Structure 1
């Protein structure tokens, strides 16, 4: 069953003779429960695709279908609601509030959803426990290592129980040991919690943790390889 379906997606920037076509008729299906690594050199279109999938940008033409909903027809407010309730984000730069505890950072998306405080605390602690940081819940983010900060960011992303997790270079700021820790957490979330994950990465070693690798080049899919089941 397709969670995400892109049909003939084009993305153009500029007008007239200055137009740049970042995506050139991309079609793509992502099934519920997949772990997809999206790769390609700078300017290949992979970040543009990720922004469209995360409802952070819109295609110039084509159809983006998310869970049976035509995202291309949603307005800004509706897209914001879709992001809030169904999509989790993990960024290369962690994006944590610096003088705020790990627990408070994880609570943030639940606060926006107006989840009652008692329930919010329970869910946030469960998310921190999943990434092995429940004992660090009262430490501020600037007291944590890079790997720990990224684990807090993952806990924040999964606290709202998203259908789809979008990870943009999640190991880009980490050393090899911490990168492996993060990838093992993502792999476990995919296998145990059945969260669909799309990870943008330029690191082939990290892409091997995914069950499917898609490579972009010049605004098109160059290859699409699934792990043998």
Structure 2
């Protein structure tokens, strides 16, 4: 279909707890994201943005409403089907890097490919290509403890893109970095977006959000703004 969004939320609701302890974190969210967009999700702590990202990444499911990914109804999938969606279509970058400490950069990047049953030779070639993309081809044998914070986040990005995902989900990817390293990471994300990867990034930082095409502002479990970047 022409102009069919890659991602769509239709009246997504997410609640936790029951009775008097019930809390509504997302309250009727509608959202469309086109393939190739760079989206910045913003809002104060507790606004619902991280919950929305978890649902987008198939790490959580909505209480009600519909989540469509490339026309597929995600909330109706089995746990195994959602796992396959994550494995083949989504990449993740986290604030805390989440690297294996005693494992080389190359081995960290190869990890998602092991779950695809690829040969050692295939894994090595793809991981090397991903590390070259983030400018770390000379650091393949370094462990995380031998790398700076910015370099660790580059390894994490390489690990996220080694599977050639359609969508890269980034949760505060510059939150643990200084300004110079943050800008380096944002340049990498911007270049990946220009190559066709859809990027959805949660951030508190307006100067980092300026790299995005569009800002989605959450407040009290609802979207209150969907503006094009004007920063």
State the TM-score, normalized to the length of structure 1: 0.97
Whether 1:189 aligns to 2:198 is: no
- Tell me the distance in 2 between the aligned counterparts of 1:18 and 1:90: 32
- Tell me the distance in 1 between the aligned counterparts of 2:202 and 2:229: 17
Whether 1:7 aligns to 2:1 is: no
- The structure 1 segments of at least 4 consecutive aligned residues displaced by more than 4 Å after TM superposition are none
Whether 1:48 aligns to 2:48 is: no
Whether 1:138 aligns to 2:138 is: no
Q: Deviations over 1:184-207 (max 9, x none)?
A: 00000001x200000000111110
Q: Given that residues 40 and 201 in structure 2 are in contact (C-alpha distance below 8 angstroms), is that contact kept between their aligned partners in structure 1?
A: yes
Whether 1:128 aligns to 2:131 is: yes
Q: Which residue of 1 aligns with 2:100?
A: 97
Q: Which residue of 2 aligns with 1:202?
A: 204
Whether 1:178 aligns to 2:175 is: no
- Tell me the distance in 2 between the aligned counterparts of 1:206 and 1:227: 11
Give the secondary-structure state (helix, strand or coil) at the position aligned to 1:120: helix
Give the secondary-structure state (helix, strand or coil) at the position aligned to 1:188: helix
Total equivalences in the alignment: 227
Shift of 1:223: 0.6
Q: Deviations over 1:148-192 (max 9, x none)?
A: 00000000000000001000000000000000000000000001x
Which of 11-20 and 81-90 deviates more?
Answer: 11-20
Give the secondary-structure state (helix, strand or coil) at the position aligned to 1:179: helix
Shift of 1:94: 0.2
Whether 1:107 aligns to 2:116 is: no
- Tell me the distance in 2 between the aligned counterparts of 1:195 and 1:9: 24
1:80 to 80, 83, 88: 83
- Tell me the distance in 2 between the aligned counterparts of 1:41 and 1:53: 19
Shift of 1:17: 2.0
Q: Which residue of 1 aligns with 2:169?
A: 166
Q: Which residue of 1 aligns with 2:222?
A: 220
Give the secondary-structure state (helix, strand or coil) at the position aligned to 1:56: coil
Give the secondary-structure state (helix, strand or coil) at the position aligned to 1:152: helix
Q: Which residue of 1 aligns with 2:27?
A: 24
- Tell me the distance in 2 between the aligned counterparts of 1:119 and 1:34: 30
Give the secondary-structure state (helix, strand or coil) at the position aligned to 2:53: helix
2:154 to 151, 155, 160: 151
Shift of 1:227: 4.0
Q: Given that residues 42 and 204 in structure 2 are in contact (C-alpha distance below 8 angstroms), is that contact kept between their aligned partners in structure 1?
A: yes
Q: Deviations over 1:63-122 (max 9, x none)?
A: 000011100101111111110111000000000000111000000001111112111111
State the TM-score, normalized to the length of structure 2: 0.97
